Structure 1
């Protein structure tokens, strides 16, 4: 198969979808890999390193899309890329369709096959291609939250871990999944007073067993959330419903109950966000303030640490890319249900239920294309 790796052009996105090591693995199996010039520079991989691995370097993004049967990316295509996508071309990347209707319609119009990293799902319900970036984003949410709690950043002026004789900051984490767990580890390690809210009692029991003593658990409901926001300094939104919009757990009216300088970090922004006041921001301009509450809503948080993020992501995606390239997407998805669940849009039809429900679009059973 002919594989193309374009340079990411979303604001401050420095990750790349394939490392030189990944190029080597694909070439060993008889595939052809074309990488756009400078695609890996943001992650620390030079064009020469790709050439040494056997990739062909193409000068432009247009040439990369034109050449490839399968496009490997990190972030969803942005408007400048829509017209470059060809009918029947396989796109293997993060899409997060349910949070952005124009992208959904553009991919329907393109006639391409869209296989989304975020909905590839194992039999036990885990999301293997979302986990590595969730781990990065969860840890980064505390790093960024701690920074914006500083007074020069308009925060409350509180040190996350406190010092002897001064209480630490209070951190509230909405969601006990991968993001929430990693955020709790980081916050606890810095000495903060942490509470995790989740709807699942089995998950809360597990977290209660494995977390250190400065992490508490609580059932997630509106009453508990409204009580906690009054005195918590940093609030992390870490809720995920695979492929669907995130529920709005912090409403606009709740902001008036928070102390000035409270920081909210919405890691669920890719899926529409779990704060009612969320709107996507960038690393260039990461925060905005409503009712004296700081909102950090960067939609590609791991893009700020691209070396770590690229290696973590490609460790997870490469085995699936090898299957898709070796067997073609139809056979690979027939034989591997994890990949089949990643299919969101095929040849102009929405084949993922949560995406069709998000925008009241017609739904087509994915098996229609696989039989």
Structure 2
């Protein structure tokens, strides 16, 4: 081999080693993540939770993932359907397993989750198991959910291994989608491009705050992230939050609001005690009147009059964070109105439609988590 060729090989090897070393440099935050463990399980919904748990564990969990819908339907290009699997669902289930101290099941399901979704630095947001297709992009909120579940497991079991795993996964994720105040929606592992938009719902503030407290620059980054979310507040006349922020135009979106995403934003703010009081009052009124719609314009006009069990479950968690047990119970009662109680039904125990057999993972998993508060 020529000397120049040998030198090139040596340089490539050294660069590879440096890259590996960079990946291995993980700083674990000291202490635990506050408010991550739910301590108060409501006795009012214990029987309903047990039936729901049984349905999900026995009818929805499959080979390291959760079916998006119990009913198997035709593939769609733009959205996951039927028996496709989402990392969103896996993160929610992992959190539930840890919260309910199902530690062996947690370890096994996390192992299978990595097998299904892992792309090295992130988790694919979607897997079509039937066709063996793993999508190239992640969804940053879903990665943060999985990381949160790892930290939760570590705290509950005093596991150094899983504490390190959580910190490592955050460090890897941060390389591509978290930069200062910017949390990008996704990164494409095929094109190596990240989104230039930030959905406010993707700012899991409690998780970000915990992992971004080890250096001064990280603390500044978190302060910017919190400010960006809070500045998305639409105003007292309609006290919700803009859907996203565009880093190119430096403007908040004026697009219609998906209520599930807006409630995720509210939930994250409530976890760090930064939810606007006007927002909380608005939410109480909607739940009391049972008219929490699925979609609104930024001026407050209803654009989708449908309602979702998951939305009421998210509201319940927000009320729990605000120590409002009365509205928590009111919201959970609305969640469980859609639970199938016919023991002869194949989806008995699910939150779903007994006629069509539709039972969506997001509704069922968020409700399970909410039942633990």
Calculate the TM-score normalised by the size of structure 2. 0.26
| Structure (1/2) with the larger strand percentage | 1
Calculate the TM-score normalised by the size of structure 1. 0.26
